[in-house]
Amino acid sequence: MPTSRISRHFASIPDSRRGPRQVHYRRAGRGPALILLHQSPLSSRDLVTTMERWQRHFTCIAPDTPGYGLSDPLGVTHAEMDEFAAATIEFLDAIGVGKAAFYGFHTGAMMAAMIAARHPERVHAVVANGYVIPTSAERAELVAEYLPPFVPTWDGAHLAWLWSRMREQTIFFPWYRKEAADRLAINVPPPEALQANLVEFLRAGDHYRVAYRAAFTMPAAETLREIEVPALITASQTDPTSRYLARATAPAPMVEVRACPTAAATLDLALAHLRRAPGSAAPKAIATRAITGRLWQQMLDVPGGQWRVRRNHDAAGRPVVVVHDAAGSADTVAPLAASFIGRRPVIALDLPGHGESGAPSPPARGAALIRTHAQALRRALDALRIRECDVVGVQGGSLIGLELASIASRRVRRLVLVAPPYFDRATQVKLRERYVPDISLDGHGGHLLAAWHFLRDHGLFWPWYERTVAAILHGERQIDPGRVHQRVLELFRAPEGWRRMCLAQFAYPVKVKLRAAKVPMLLAAADHDPLRDATLAAARAQPAIPFCALPENEHDWGEVLLRFLDA
C-alpha cells in the first residue's frame, strides 16, 4: 500500500466543557484509525517517525495535547489525567472517530491507559510505551522537583537554564538527581536534536508542567487493574521508565506487561499488538470549523505545502490580510489582527519559512525574495477564495504587501504600511552588512543568549547593534521579557527564513515601488516603533500618502486603521 505525506489540520471544539478550543493534529496513512499520543513537553512532531513507520497499516492521527504544540490549553494550571482523557474523547468526536486503537509514549502512555480505563467503548486496543508507576514518595518528589516554573527573565537566563535542563535529562533520570544510580546509559543527542526539542518546550511555555504533573499524579497501578481492552504496557530497556514495569503487579487479565531490549523492538512489538485487534475505518479529514469571537487557526493547502492561518470572519465586508515581518508569524501580529474582529473579516498567515508554515522557504534571495513571498501570498489568497482584500503589512511585511499591490493591483483595494523599512541605498547597504548577526547553533547553548540580546536590543537602540547614546530609543520601551521571549521563539521557528527576509527588506527598492503603486496607501507607525522616523521620512517624500500615528496598544489599531480602510 503506498504511503502518504503527513498533513496537518486543526479540529475545532466550540462546545468543549472547558470552553471553545482547537486541537492541532497530524494525519497520514490509510486503514483503521490509530491515535498516537506524544510525550511532554513536546508535540505530535515527536511522533512523525512512528507515523511514517506505521502509516502502511493505519490511518495515523496524532493530536497535540492541550497546551502543547499548537493546541489550545484547557485553561487551567492543574488538570488530572482523566481530564486529558476526556479532552481526547472530545477531539475524537470533533473529527468523527468513534472507536480507534491507541498508542502513547511517556506522558502519552499514561493518557492512553487512562482513556482505555475510562472510555473502553472507544478503544480497540492500546499500547502504553514508557509507563510510569512511582511510589508515593517518588511521586511527591517528582511533583516538587521535576517541574519548576518556566518564566522569562529580563536577562534571558531562563533560556540558559532550559538548554541545560534539556541536555541533563539525557544524562540523568530524574534530571535533577546526580547520583550514580540515576545516570543514563544513552547517547547525548546532537545539538540539532536538543534545539528542536527546546523549541517544542518554548511553544508550551510554563504550561509544560500541566500534563507532566498529571502523568506523575495519576493512579498508575490502579489504572492497569481497570483496563478491559487488549493492552500492552512496555518500554525499551534503554528507556529510564523501564524500571517501573516490575511494579505493574496484578494488572487486569487483558493487560500484558513486557520489556524489550531496544526501542526498535519495542515499536515492532507495539505494532504487532495493535494489528491483532479489530479496527474501525478512519473518516476523511474534515474542514476546520470557525469559532466565533476569536482568532481561530487552520492549515491551508497550497502548492508545495501548507500554510498556518489565523482568522476570523464574524463580520461581513472586505477581508483584511495582515502580513508579519521577519522573525515573526501570525502570532506576532495576532493583537493587530484581533483588533478587526467584529469589524471586518481578518486573516493573518505564516509566511513560508516562518512560524508554523509547512510551505518551504523560497529559494530566492535579496529583493527577489519579497516578490516571491508576494506571489506565494497571492496563491494563498486564491486557496482562500479571496478575490479582493485590504492589506496591512508590518515592517518587512509591508514590503510584501506593497509588492502584492504591484503584481495584483485589482486584488488589493487599500494598503497600510506599518513602519516600512524606508532607507536610502547607503543605509540599506550598511544594514545588510551589520543588521543580521550570525546566531549559529552552539552545543553549550550560547546561541540562545545571542538571540535573546539581539532581539532585546531592538527595543533599546536603533539600529540595535550601535548601542550608543545617539542610538537610544526613547519613550515606551519594548523590552518586556514575555515580548522578547516570543520573538526568540519566532526566530528559532524560522531558522533561515528570518535571516533571508531581513536581508531582502534592506535590498528592496521601496522608494521606486512607492512612487509606482496605484492603490490607495496609508503610512502608519506607533511612537515606540524604531522605524517611526523612517516612516515619517517616507511620508515627507511621498506627500500624497497620508501618515497615521498609531496608539501604543496594538489591540486599538484596527479601529484607527478602519478610518482609512473604510473610506
Q: Do 340 and 403 fall within a single domain?
A: yes
Radius of gyration of the chain (CA): 25
Q: Distance between CA 179 and CA 164 in Å, rounded?
A: 17
pTM: 0.96
Residues 6+ apart with CB under 8 A from 189: 170, 197
Q: Is residue 261 part of a domain?
A: yes
Q: Is residue 490 part of a domain?
A: no
Q: Is the pLDDT of residue 126 over 80?
A: yes
Q: What is the pLDDT of residues 14-31, one digit of tens each?
A: 999 889 999 999 999 999
Cis amide prior to 463 (ω within 30 degrees)? yes
On average, the pLDDT of the chain sits at 95
Q: Do 313 and 417 fall within a single domain?
A: yes
Q: Do 403 and 533 fall within a single domain?
A: yes
Q: Is residue 555 part of a domain?
A: yes
pLDDT for residue 303: 83
Last residue of a domain, one of 248, 276, 304: 276
Q: Is residue 554 part of a domain?
A: yes
Q: What is the pLDDT of residues 485-525, one digit of tens each?
A: 999 999 999 988 999 999 999 999 999 999 999 999 999 99
Q: What is the pLDDT of residues 320-378, one digit of tens each?
A: 999 999 999 999 999 999 999 999 999 999 999 999 998 777 788 889 999 999 999 99
Q: Is the pLDDT of residue 563 over 80?
A: yes
pLDDT for residue 2: 44
Q: Do 105 and 216 fall within a single domain?
A: yes
Helix (H, G, I), strand (E, B) or coil at 477: coil
Averaged pLDDT for residues 523-533: 95
Q: Do 553 and 513 fall within a single domain?
A: yes
pLDDT for residue 364: 80
Q: Do 241 and 312 fall within a single domain?
A: no
* CB 320 within 8 Å of CB 389: yes
CA 82, 84, 90: angle at the middle one, nearest 5? 105
Closest CA to 267 of 237, 297, 234, 238: 234
Q: Is the pLDDT of residue 392 over 50?
A: yes
- The structural domain count of the chain equals 2
CATH number at residue 325: 3.40.50.1820
Q: Do 553 and 404 fall within a single domain?
A: yes
Going by pLDDT thresholds of 50, 70 and 90, the confidence category of residue 3 is: low
Q: Which residue is associated with the grid cell 481578518?
A: 346
Q: What is the pLDDT of residues 77-116, one digit of tens each?
A: 999 999 999 999 999 999 999 999 999 999 999 999 999 9
Q: Do 31 and 111 fall within a single domain?
A: yes
Q: Which residue is associated with the grid cell 537566563?
A: 157
Q: Is residue 418 part of a domain?
A: yes
Q: Is the pLDDT of residue 542 over 90?
A: yes
* Domain carrying residue 539: 296-424+507-565
Q: What is the pLDDT of residues 448-477, one digit of tens each?
A: 999 999 999 999 999 999 999 999 998 777
Residues linked to residue 526 through DSSP beta bridges, in sequence order: 550
Closest CA to 34 of 99, 80, 79: 99
Q: Do 265 and 387 fall within a single domain?
A: no
Averaged pLDDT for residues 431-444: 94
